[in-house]
Amino acid sequence: MSKPWLLLLVVLVSLSLSLHPAHGKNGEKTNLTRESFPPGFVFGTASSAYQVEGNALKYGRGPCIWDTFLKYPGTTPDNATANVTVDEYHRYMDDVDNMVRVGFDAYRFSISWSRIFPSGLGKINRDGVDYYHRLIDYMLAHNITPYVALYHYDLPQVLHDQYNGWLHTRIVSDFTRFAEFCFKTYGDKVKNWFTINEPRMMANHGYGDCYFAPGRCTGSQFGGNSSTEPYIAGHNLLLSHAAAVKIYRDKYQDTQKGKIGILLDFVWYEPLTNSEEDRAAAHRAREFTLGWFLNPITYGEYPETMQKMVMKRLPTFTPEQSEMIKGSADYIAINHYTTYYVSHYVNQTFMSYLNDWDVKISYERDGVPIGKQAYSNWLYVVPWGIYKAVMHVKENFNDPIIIIGENGIDQPGNETLPGALYDSFRIEYFEQYLQELRRAIDEGARVIGYFAWSLLDNFEWRLGFTSKFGIVYVDRSTFTRYPKDSTRWFRKVIKSED
């Protein structure tokens, strides 16, 4: 006997699945919508000045340390530079228009210090100042809220030449003066500031293992000491952050009604085994990465683990500095991409920041990878890691307001049209990570925003253009922008449309 009602039910269920705002792995239904996040939750995308603006040698901009670093052949696999990159300097309207089409609320970008002050300080480059006015004004006219980072890896070369940049205490006053200029110039329109993006990455890669500009480390042709300089640079980065926040709060925050924080990278470190040694190793890894900066910002001092292990090589804060740093963030942005296993391991070959942790990083356990590997050899898809990372911040650092400042996955840079637009793997990554982020929010984490990295396939530092994190493909011969499938997926989630 036929059952018409049963057939109708099957049809309706199938129709519901096909029209749902988003689908998960293997097509299962998901409940990811804007409404499943807290009221006022901000969805945005992110970039940095050096990676997208181009025109590095034009319009009055002075050189930064990456311009110098990239002059050495082989620094990037394709010998690429950021002299042109994706030319957002001229094409910012196209990029903002794409954000509007997707439904993003905000854009996180950075200001190039050397575009404002080609000589580090002193003479102002009006072309640079006006560029950021144009960008901000166009964003606001299209209801895209600016979230501005004052510094994203790109120190003016002149300051490095004069006094070794982040290794000298003079950088604190110079950075603060640059920050104050930005507050004074743009603060009537910008209400969301970040001082510094990923200070740990700069301290480690710039002064510990030579991987980033200015390329200093033990044995480098540029000089350096991997056992001391990362800690000195990190110390001055923290002091610069805190001094800039103090200026903002003392002189601008009451009238401009904005907020200010910092962007910190945080890989989640999971113990390889349940042994006491490996659990302690995971704790050390978290302390030497996130804790290095968030512990002083929360408690006014470096983590006890670091103090005991680094000893005299770790700088100390004066009581006044400790007081200035403690509480110096209205929110904490976490840049999270991946998760690793760690185990106890003592490397006595030479003394360095990385060896000070006494840990070994692993990407598999008992022959099973921790997750699917992306194009980058450091990036594995481990969605539960973002849940653990966020809950760790909540539970160990006084339950701060949190923003996910970066989260994303890359594809090979040699993919071409139209294949490069079919990024189902990226959709799967975003969906799974956002589901885990929502789980943390449901359990009380005060997360108020999420920024996908990145808007565009742009210059990816040491990987040049061989790695593409963008949700928008850029044809670099014409600079035409082509939204990928992931932009349509975000539109469905953010706008809750069919």
Element (H, E) at 435: helix 424-442
- Tell me which of 88, 198, 431, 460 is the catalytic residue: 198
163: nearest Cα among 128, 120, 114, 100: 120
Would you call 428 a catalytic residue per the annotation?
no
Q: Are strands 359-362 and 339-344 parallel, antiparallel or unpaired?
A: antiparallel
Residues 6+ apart with CB under 8 A from 304: none
Would you call 406 a catalytic residue per the annotation?
yes
State the amino acid at position 90 in one-letter form: H
292: nearest Cα among 282, 279, 305, 278: 305
Torsion of CA 378, 450, 438, 495, to 10 degrees: -120
- Tell me which of 270, 406, 431, 460 is the catalytic residue: 406
CA atoms within 13 A of residue 242's CA, in its CB half-sphere: 23
CB atoms within 10 A of CB 111: 26
376: nearest Cα among 451, 452, 463: 463
Helix residue spans in 384-423 (DSSP H)? 384-396
Sign of CA dihedral 195, 198, 200, 201: negative
Q: For tokens 């990190």, name the residue.
A: 234
Query: Catalytic positions, please?
Result: 198, 406
